[in-house]
Structure 1
Amino acid sequence: MKFVWCLLFMCCSMQIMAQDDNTYPDYRKKTEGYARMAEKDLKAEVASFALAALEDRLNKTALPAIPPVDYGANFITFEGNSITVNIKAGPFDPSKHKIGTYGEKKHVVRIDGRPYYGSYGTMPNYKIASVTMTIGKDTVQIPAEAYADLYSPVFTYNDEKGAVRTYNGVYLSPDKRTIYIYMLNQETIGSYEVTWIIQDKKYLRRVVDSGILK
């Protein structure tokens, strides 16, 4: 009987270890997600394009969009209505950051003490390096904190005919006071989306949801 109990204990321990090797917690908070938006007017406009808002999109009118005018492997540029938006990527160097891991397989769950988006659970290769914006002659200051935890950016993709497309966009509110900069980016499983909200030429906030398109 003692042998049986020991065998059961060993089996349970091995199962727990296996779970630890293959699973890891998602420490990212949901407070910045679409569902938690308190601003009803902004939320209604985000619902017109964000994937996290598909259930709320019924009868939502599409917002006017500013078209992409240039793109490459590590950047995309939108321009129109006297507005220019540039999003750039850069390589991620783990040696210059504090990496937090989980479990025996050392799944990456924190970078510089913060949970992050993009390749969550593994080491990212690229980061969003900058998001810049001008409206007329005015430069909108978008703080580094708004994208410092965002990795694995995707600027374009090829459709079934081989044409280059993008999931990303820049949208204007009907009164043109608010501008939404939207990106859909990679995760190890699924994707994450981020919307930076600019209002009256000032950065207001961001909206981030993960686990999209699993």
Structure 2
Amino acid sequence: MRSFFGLCLLMLSIAVQAQDEVLPDLRNKRESFAKYPKGEIRDDLATFTIGGIDERIGKKPLEKLPATDYNLRSITFEAPNVKVIITSGTFEASKHKLFYYYEKKYLVKIDGKPYYGDYGTVPTTTISSVVVIVNNKDTVAIPPTAYADLFHPDFTYVDGSGTVRTHNAVYLSADKHRMYIYMVNSEAMGKYEVTWILQDNKYVGRVVDSGIMK
């Protein structure tokens, strides 16, 4: 009988320990598609985001700018009067404050903020810049805070036939007042997607959904 109770206590201890080791997701769900208010922007987002796929039926696809160059470090989109360049950088852990969970087993915050891209582990690459040029001369300011917590950018992938492609895109609303810069990047498991939203050549926010394409 004593050995039976001992075994029960051991199993309970293991179960509690396993529960304690579950990686908590501290990231802000208020930036997800599901939380975005109804309106024209949400309708536009539904035409191309994975988070909005359930609302896609009946919506006309947006104009898509072609990716004119992409490699492992950057991607460029160009069309008349519009150019978008996204570049990556190297994550230097020694220059950041890292916050761990469960005896430093899981990384959950960088510089005091939850992050996307290899969540739970130390990332190796960053998004170093998002540059938008309109009318061939004017630069639209995308604040670093819009991508400082986004890591492991994926500029390319190889499809089943061996062709190098990209999931990323730039979309224009039907009235040309809004631009959506879209990326699909890597997590420790699956992917996350981010859309930076510009309206009348001003950055107005972003939408981020994680846990996709697992």
TM-score range normalised by the length of the shorter chain: over 0.9
Give the partner amino acid of 2:55.
D
Rounded Cα–Cα distance in structure 1 between residues aligned with 2:138 and 2:66: 20
Rounded Cα–Cα distance in structure 1 between residues aligned with 2:115 and 2:169: 22
TM-score normalised by L of structure 2: 0.94
Give the partner amino acid of 2:56.
R
2:165 paired with 1:165: yes
2:24 paired with 1:14: no
The Cα of 1:89 is off from its aligned counterpart by 0.6
Query: What are the equivalent positions in structure 2 for 1:21-100 lying under 5 Å apart?
Result: 21=21, 23-100=22-99
Equivalent residue number for residue 138 of structure 1? 138
Equivalent residue number for residue 154 of structure 1? 154
- Count of residues paired in the alignment: 213
Give the partner amino acid of 2:19.
Q
Contact 1:84–1:135 under 8 Å retained in 2: yes
TM-score normalised by L of structure 1: 0.94
Contact 1:47–1:53 under 8 Å retained in 2: yes
The Cα of 1:12 is off from its aligned counterpart by 1.6
Unaligned runs of 5+ in 2: none
Equivalent residue number for residue 186 of structure 1? 186
Rounded Cα–Cα distance in structure 2 between residues aligned with 1:175 and 1:39: 18
Give the partner amino acid of 1:160.
G
Rounded Cα–Cα distance in structure 1 between residues aligned with 2:18 and 2:37: 41
Equivalent position SS for 1:43: helix
Equivalent residue number for residue 108 of structure 2? 109
Unaligned runs of 5+ in 1: none
The Cα of 1:6 is off from its aligned counterpart by 4.9
Rounded Cα–Cα distance in structure 2 between residues aligned with 1:11 and 1:195: 45
Rounded Cα–Cα distance in structure 1 between residues aligned with 2:19 and 2:99: 19
Q: CA RMSD in A?
A: 1.5
Equivalent residue number for residue 212 of structure 1? 212
